[in-house]
């Protein structure tokens, strides 16, 4: 067989093998086998030495043509196989976006947080600034600067968790009164602040006591602020939370950091003042402690009580939530039983 015939045969053989290649590995093998240095085409080219000068270029040309043809066929096949591999991969990884997803349970603010948000939003709308303090507090801010010197009997009103002899878990949000009074620049106008947060007391947990609960402190200090302002403000809060027919009444009370001090009652929203089990047949429900900021508190925070004065109050969102929803055991709020908590989800 002449070289030309041999080349033609190799071309047919090669094209067939290329056609039959099923994957990229196989096409690579074919390339090495047909076109490599030890392959049959190279071999044929070597045999050209023995050809006549006339025939050599013709065979040479033909050999090049065969090689180019095979190279092109290999490249085409490779591209085709690569495309097929890519298609298969895409096919395998296809996501059916129409399939139903796995439902993810979405949280809702805790019922007490909802009350806090409502109260805070209300005060923000009246121009109060929100101040968030630390739950671990210095004893001086929790007591001394609130007019409760060491050995003051009123300290017993609030059994305290101590961290060190001078650091404690705050028993009330009132330390924020002193902290904000110290910070405020009265040349810029009155101080109006609202401060929600957790507080701690060494109480045994029962239906109406929790060793950790929430308070919202409010304070306004400036010029010419009266107890009527306090009462009006409390009325706005009560009415926005419980309904606009409610009234507020103040009863004398005692807190070391306010003088005079009051406890505020609202009309029982259940019986509208007629008397029922919730209000223990008084027609009124006690909701918070308040008073006019004691001159000593102002003085200790560097504010002149001759020039400035104001009111402060502390309300318990836990108690508000209990009243509002008729919850009789405060522990329900903290045991995190979702069957209880989801009842208050606003999305239902
Ligand atoms: N801090 C008081 C308490 O925890 C409540 C209060 C706040 C009273 C502000 C008067 C003024 O009982």
Residues with Cβ within 8 Å of 60's Cβ and at least 6 positions away in sequence, in order, are 45, 48
More confident residue, 128 or 47: 128
Backbone angles phi, psi at 208, to 5 degrees: -120, 0
187 CA distance to ligand 1 middle (Å): 27
Ligand 1 atom with the shortest distance to the CA of 293: 11
189 CA distance to ligand 1 middle (Å): 24
Q: How many whole angstroms from its chain centre is CA 132?
A: 17
Residue burial 165-196, b: 16+ Cβ < 10 Å; e: rest: eeebbbbbbbbbbbbbbeebebeeeebbbbbb
258 Cβ closer than 6 Å to some ligand 1 atom: yes
Per-residue confidence (pLDDT) for residue 153, from 0 to 100: 79
Q: How many whole angstroms from its chain centre is CA 60?
A: 77
Per-residue confidence (pLDDT) for residue 157, from 0 to 100: 67
Contact 34, 40 (CB under 8 A): yes
Q: If 0-12 CB within 10 Å is exposed, 13-18 middle and 19+ buried, where does residue 108 land? A: middle
pTM of this structure: 0.71
Q: What one-character DSSP code corresponds to residue 171?
A: S
Q: What's the pLDDT band for 46 if we cut at 50, 70, 90?
A: confident
Mean of all residue pLDDT scores within the chain:
91
Q: What's the pLDDT band for 178 if we cut at 50, 70, 90?
A: very high
3-state secondary structure at position 169: strand
Across-strand partners of 167?
A: 138, 164
Mutate to test the pocket of ligand 1, among 314, 315, 316, 317 (most ligand atoms within 8 A of CB): 314
Q: What is the pLDDT of residues 289-314, one digit of tens each?
A: 999 999 999 999 999 999 999 999 99
The total number of residues shown for the chain amounts to 348
Sheet holding 258-267, edge to edge: 129-130, 191-200, 212-222, 309-315, 284-293, 258-267, 248-255
313 CA distance to ligand 1 middle (Å): 6
Task: Assign a CATH topology to domain 111-344.
Answer: BirA Bifunctional Protein; domain 2 (3.30.930)
Mutate to test the pocket of ligand 1, among 174, 175, 209, 291 (most ligand atoms within 8 A of CB): 174
């Amino acid at each position: 067989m002449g070289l030309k015939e041999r080349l033609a045969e190799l071309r047919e053989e090669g094209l067939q093998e290329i056609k039959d290649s099923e994957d990229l590995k196989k096409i690579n093998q074919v390339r090495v086998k047909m076109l490599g240095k030890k392959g049959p085409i190279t071999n044929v080219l070597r045999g050209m030495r023995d050809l006549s000068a006339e025939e050599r270029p013709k065979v040479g040309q033909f050999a090049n043509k065969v090689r180019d043809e095979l190279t092109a066929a290999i490249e085409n096949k490779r591209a085709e196989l690569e495309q097929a591999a890519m298609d298969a991969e895409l096919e395998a990884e296809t996501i059916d976006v129409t399939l139903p997803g796995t439902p993810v349970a979405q949280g809702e603010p805790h019922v007490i947080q909802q009350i806090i948000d409502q109260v805070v939003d209300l005060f923000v709308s009246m121009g109060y600034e929100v101040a968030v303090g630390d739950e671990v507090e210095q004893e001086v801010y929790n007591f001394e600067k609130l007019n409760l010197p060491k050995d003051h009997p009123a300290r017993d009103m609030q059994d305290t968790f101590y961290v060190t002899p001078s650091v404690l878990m705050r028993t009330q949000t009132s330390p924020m009164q002193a902290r904000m009074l110290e910070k405020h620049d009265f040349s810029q106008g009155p101080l109006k602040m609202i401060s929600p947060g957790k507080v701690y007391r060494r109480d045994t947990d029962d239906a109406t006591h929790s060793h950790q609960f929430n308070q919202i402190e409010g304070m306004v200090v400036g010029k010419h602020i009266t107890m009527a302002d306090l009462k009006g403000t409390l009325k706005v809060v009560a009415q926005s939370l419980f309904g606009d027919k409610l009234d507020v009444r103040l009863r004398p009370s005692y807190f070391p950091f306010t003088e005079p001090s009051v406890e505020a009652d609202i009309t029982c929203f259940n019986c509208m003042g007629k008397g029922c089990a919730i209000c223990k047949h008084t027609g009124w429900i006690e909701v918070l402690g308040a008073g006019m900021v004691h001159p000593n508190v102002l003085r200790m925070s560097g504010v002149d009580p001759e020039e400035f004065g104001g009111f402060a109050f502390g309300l318990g969102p836990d108690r508000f939530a209990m009243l509002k929803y008729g919850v009789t055991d405060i522990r329900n709020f903290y045991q995190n039983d979702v069957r209880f908590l989801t009842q208050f989800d606003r999305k239902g």
